[in-house]
Amino acid sequence: MVAVKIDGKAFAETVRGDLAKHVEQLQREHGITPGLAVILVGEDPASEVYVRNKGKQTRECGMASFEHKLEATSSEAELLDLIGSLNADPAVHGILVQLPLPAHIDSDKILNAIDPAKDVDGFHVSNVGLLGTGQKAMVPCTPLGCLMLLRHHHGKLDGLNAVVIGRSNIVGKPMAQLLLRDNCTVTIAHSRSRDLQNIVRSADIVIAAVGRPEIVTGAWIKAGATVIDVGINRVERDGRKKLVGDVNFESAAEVASAITPVPGGVGPMTIACLLANTLTACCRARGLPEPLGLTA
Ligand SMILES: Nc1nc(=O)c2c([nH]1)NC[C@@H]1CN(c3ccc(C(=O)N[C@@H](CCC(=O)O)C(=O)O)cc3)C=[N+]21
């Protein structure tokens, strides 16, 4: 292995430590506690793990965590009602509706019902438009976490070739916007791109967010590239369940100069950025300065 392993878990702990200090100051000077509401519909076991981790880390940072679990059979109207009451609740500064939602619920309608100022996932169409036009927005947590790791390990990104594999609203598209804002030359590729390998081989920065276990191998990576692996794939290897990314770590690490592992890379940064967005939303709601300057 020649690449540096980018330790997202450690970096996320540092970010959460900074957040906790700001939260404590907000409480001490203004008597305000930032609050995050998480809505989970149905019983997906993987989703429950995320919800539990988010709740625990929210409280550890000194913020208030409100968890709402609805039955998988809940109606769209029930969910809209709950969002309406959270929009109106001054103790709630951030609202996250865990995705995916059951098939009978229209996700776009739900996401667009969240007050954009409380939309800590940055999925509301108005935040998407603000980000795309370079205005102050709520920025989606996973791409923001990737950007923080890239800036930390790479410094300035100006003029670099960045290839984003994946075109989802959650990761690929907002990631491309953030990289453009940092002056990269950005290509969005995806599972149907012709000659995907050669596109990826042109990249100084590779963001793999395509949802295919270990599709990107060392043979696809330009020597010295930085590789950010967003994939979270549960697979069975040698009769054991295992978490792997969209990148084959061993082979890519022989060629890249830096690479994130799965787990312990992007995942923990996603949660740290969710908490950062909640603090930002709280400060904006109260007309206080934003302590982090990450989220605009
Ligand atoms: N509205 C919405 N916003 C999301 O941001 C969102 C969502 N829905 N639905 C599900 C996905 C997935 N996601 C993860 C966050 C953290 C880890 C994470 O912390 N992973 C750890 C450990 C994972 C494990 O061991 O199970 C790691 O990679 O090291 C993983 C996955 C957020 N998502």
The yes/no answer to whether this complex scores an ipTM above 0.90 is yes
Q: What is the DSSP letter of 288?
A: P
255 CA → ligand 1 middle, Å: 27
Give the position of tokens 């990107």. Answer: 216
Backbone phi, psi, residue 20, to 5°: -60, -40
Ligand 1, residues 112, 232, 259, 278: which to mutate, most atoms within 8 A of Cβ?
Answer: 232
State the pLDDT confidence band at 294, using cuts at 50, 70 and 90: low
* pLDDT tens track for 249-259: 999 999 999 99
pLDDT at residue number 293: 61
Average pLDDT over residues 222-251: 96
Distance CA 179, CA 194 (A): 22
Every domain of the chain and the residues it spans: 31-117, 141-267
User: Could you give the 3-state DSSP secondary structure of residue 66?
Assistant: strand
Query: What is the average pLDDT score of the chain?
Result: 96
Fold of 141-267: Rossmann fold (3.40.50)
Q: Where are the alpha helices (DSSP H) in 107-224?
A: 107-111, 125-132, 141-154, 172-181, 196-201
Task: Look at the alpha carbons of 46, 74, 58, 292 in this order and tell me if their dihedral is positive or negative.
Answer: positive
pTM of the entire predicted model = 0.97
Catalytic residue check, 27: no
Identify the H or E element spanning 37: strand 35-41
Does the pLDDT at position 51 exceed 90? Answer: no
Q: Give the angle subtended at the CA of 206 by the CAs of 12 and 2, to the nearest 5°.
A: 80
94 CA → ligand 1 middle, Å: 17
Domain spanning 31-117, CATH class: alpha beta
